[in-house]
Structure 1
């Protein structure tokens, strides 16, 4: 008589292996319900894995462009705010100075005090920073572009002293011009001081008798040889690079600052009647021209911000489309996954019951 061999140990191990596999499937199913993504995307979508990777890469690059655009807009917004404040302060000073164009005003001392307050404010605004980057320093983002009016710890003469020394050098030692000829000489000397030069040319003596170096310490306007220095730029899209903003050594800023320094360095109420008209008119003209050009730069900055905003919206729309495409490949049908969990739980319960029954079997049950 033949008997079939029945091994409870073998059956138990088979059921344990089945339960282990079912439990792993249950863990993966629960993970998919929690994340909404296949536990093993590559195994699930097969040949579409390459397309999924390409979509992911494009999504990440687009997301970086969104972050870059947000950073650029933040910097531009702060720059716009600073420039607007400079325009407001400069316009108030221009109005006060313009009242003395017709005839010499006895309130020249108060004008000097007012100009000095505006000068400190403008220099402070030009040293504005976003994070660790100074907005008006050009590509030299790590240091404030303007020296304080009264100087710093460098040991160099203060910007105000440099301007006053330039005036005295043109007048032969006097604090202010006394004749029309001296006024013309002072204006020529200040124009030279507030100009920029090729770094490759011989430096003046002393070195700080220049705008770049004595008053401004950011990126120079030109490189050695005379070529224009690179401007700060951002790349908010693959085919879009935007050179934006204003440097504190741009012509309009130098013109604006020259006009303010002229009013802050001299008490015009004490000037000789022959020297006064050309001096005050030149200061007002420079202040007015600088403000006019700064308004145009502010408007241009607004146009660039609008371009950034348009690109940002395009990137966000592209991100939404890419996200849907990626989800279609990687996403899990939550209803199907929930049904699968219920089935696995039922199978695990059945396997556990079968294992328990086998564990209770004894040979004596069949003798």
Structure 2
């Protein structure tokens, strides 16, 4: 068929429609094979900003959970470490009680037990996790307990509060576990429970033969044990709060990833229906095109 001026626009339109169907077929076929609605953000331009916002939210949730999981592991380690201090305190309470039982325990033995308790408690509170002193507040590069500090002096009854051994600061460490949730979890070596414990051991070490000092030390140790139990209880509560927030963040991530999937990924059943419809249209269009292009005016003269 030779185009004439009268038929040229129609022929051009027909060819353009066939090409449009071919392009649409190719696009949907690519969507089905790749599983994505588009290979770039341009193809989903109307949803791009929303998609970027959702993807950014997912990234933040992943970062929160990474940090919170690290802190959670540290909190569990701190909890176990304080259990060691509590065990030592109970052992010392038994030793002091025995020393108060009528002079049957040599004073040197009691003093040595107090010295060991001081060293072990100091060692635990000077524990590092990941190169950070965890009982020093945010002063993470300095051991929090220094029993050689000149201001931490031998005591007698009645003793006075003295936390000059503490070398950290007063800032309680925290972790941001979500956009709006910050959990304070830090424990300071200057906590009254530890100060009482150090003071009690100080009294025993320097006055191991004195009923007065041993009696006061016994009371201080009992109070310290109760205080340490409270500190560990708070750590346990904080750990549970972290676990709950980590779980919630994971649930939020699942929801947000479903949103991104709906924006980015191809709906295969729907796309399959579309491509079948386009195939039908293409077959009909090609069939019509062949018939029209083969028409010849001479056949009708």
Call closer, same or farther: CA 1:230–1:55 in 2, change over 3 Å.
Answer: same
RMSD between superposed Cα atoms in Å: 2.8
Residues 119 and 264 in structure 1, CA contact (< 8 A), matched pair in contact too: no
Equivalent position SS for 1:234: strand
**Residue 68 (1) aligns with residue 67 (2):** yes
Single out whichever of 316-325 and 103-112 deviates more from structure 2. Answer: 103-112
Deviations 1:216-252 (A, max 9, x none): 2111xxxxxxxxx432222212222222232001111
* CA spacing shift, 1:141–1:37, aligned 2, 3 Å: farther
What is the aligned partner in structure 2 of residue 232 from structure 1?
Answer: 173
Supply the distance in 2 between the matched residues of 1:37 and 1:59 (Cα, whole angstroms): 19
Q: Does 1:253 align with 2:253?
A: no
For residue 7 of structure 2, what is the aligned residue in structure 1? none
1:143 is aligned to 142
SS at match of 1:119: helix
2:90 maps to 91
**Which whole-Å CA distance do the structure 2 matches of 1:53 and 1:217 have between them?**
46
Structure 1 residue runs without a partner (length 5+): 1-21, 150-157, 168-185, 195-210, 220-228, 341-367
Greater Cα shift, 278-287 or 102-111: 102-111
3-state SS, counterpart of residue 99 of structure 2: coil
Listed one character per residue, the Cα deviations across residues 150-189 of structure 1 (whole Å, up to 9, x for unaligned) are: xxxxxxxx25x765x544xxxxxxxxxxxxxxxxxx224x
C-alpha distance in structure 1 between counterparts of 2:200 and 2:40, whole Å: 67
Match of 2:168 among 201, 218, 239: 218
Q: Counterpart of 1:48?
A: 47
Corresponding residue for 1:292?
226
Structure 2 residue aligned with 1:114:
113
2:242 corresponding residue in structure 1: 308
Cα distance between partner residues in 1 of 2:154 and 2:108: 21
Closer, same or farther in 2 for the Cα pair 1:37/1:95, shift >3 Å? Answer: farther
> How far is 1:332 from its partner?
4.5
Contact 1:119 1:257 in 2 (8 A): yes
Q: Which moved more, 1:237-246 or 1:316-325?
A: 237-246
Query: 1:162-173 to 2 correspondence within 5 Å?
Result: 166-167=154-155
Match of 1:191 in 2: 160
How far apart in 2 are the matches of 1:39 and 1:114? 73
**Deviation above 3 Å: which 4+ runs of structure 1?**
36-39, 332-337
- How far does the alpha carbon of each residue in 1:98-140 deviate from its partner, in whole angstroms, 9 at most, with x for none? 1223423333222221222222111111011221221100121
Count residues in correspondence: 246
Q: Secondary structure at the match of 2:54?
A: helix
**Contact residue 200 and residue 220 of structure 2 kept, 8 A:** yes
Mapped partners of 1:80, 1:129: distance in 2: 14
